[in-house]
Amino acid sequence: MKQAREGMTAGVKAGDRAPDFTLESQDGKQVSLHDYAGSRNVVVYFYPKDFTRGCAAEARTFSSSYEEIKRLGGEVLGISSDSAESHDRFAEECSVAFPLLSDRGGKVRDMYGLRPTLGILPKRVTFVLDKAGMVVNVFSSQIDPKRHVSNAIEVLSALAR
């Protein structure tokens, strides 16, 4: 499947096995990527920071599309370095029904090879994984957060065929 890249990303790419992780969600639960193996395609999106305009737009767009994503056999996991407590408030403000995961210290971001833009701004990158945990698509754009959602839905639709 074609890899969509607006901004180039080093690290994990289409065709790679997605690195596994376990992180705390906004409700205090531990969520592991391997929990979805064999049963769901997974959209893993990394975003810069809770309560910023672009990140709120992205979260709201994923939220409004969440039922469609689930119908297509997908799950959504949002990841930033904010705390689980911050994610809880952000999820409430943006009506987020999927897990927002706290990557304090950026360990998972590093595992995926996501270096900061201009050396300071965390990258906004979305990975779509198939049920086997393989990366089938990577989309990177700092300036078009809503496009991450439409791109993920296109890829999930293709996987559902």
Residue 20 makes CB contacts below 8 A (sequence gap 6+) with 32, 33, 34, 133
Please tell me which residue in 55, 77, 91, 138 is annotated as part of the active site.
Answer: 55
126 forms bridges with which residues in the sheet?
45, 139
Going by pLDDT thresholds of 50, 70 and 90, the confidence category of residue 6 is: very low
- CA dihedral (50, 32, 15, 130) in degrees, to 10, reads -100
* pLDDT tens digits, 32-51: 999 999 999 999 999 999 99
Domain 22-160 adopts which CATH fold?
A: Glutaredoxin (3.40.30)
pLDDT digits (tens, 9 = 90+) for 103-138: 999 999 999 999 887 778 899 999 999 999 999 999
CA distance 160 to 143: 28
| Angular region, 97: left φ>0, alpha ψ -120 to 50, beta rest | alpha
Beta bridge partners of 101: 25, 79
Query: Is 55 labeled as catalytic in the residue annotation?
Result: yes
What's the residue count for the chain?
161
d(C-alpha 133, C-alpha 145), whole Å: 24
What is the maximum span of the chain, computed from C-alpha positions, in angstroms? 40
Structure tokens at 22: 């376990």
Q: What DSSP designation does 20 have?
A: P
- pTM assigned to the model: 0.93
Q: Give the angle subtended at the CA of 65 by the CAs of 136 and 26, to the nearest 5°.
A: 85
Q: For residue 44, give the amino acid letter.
A: V
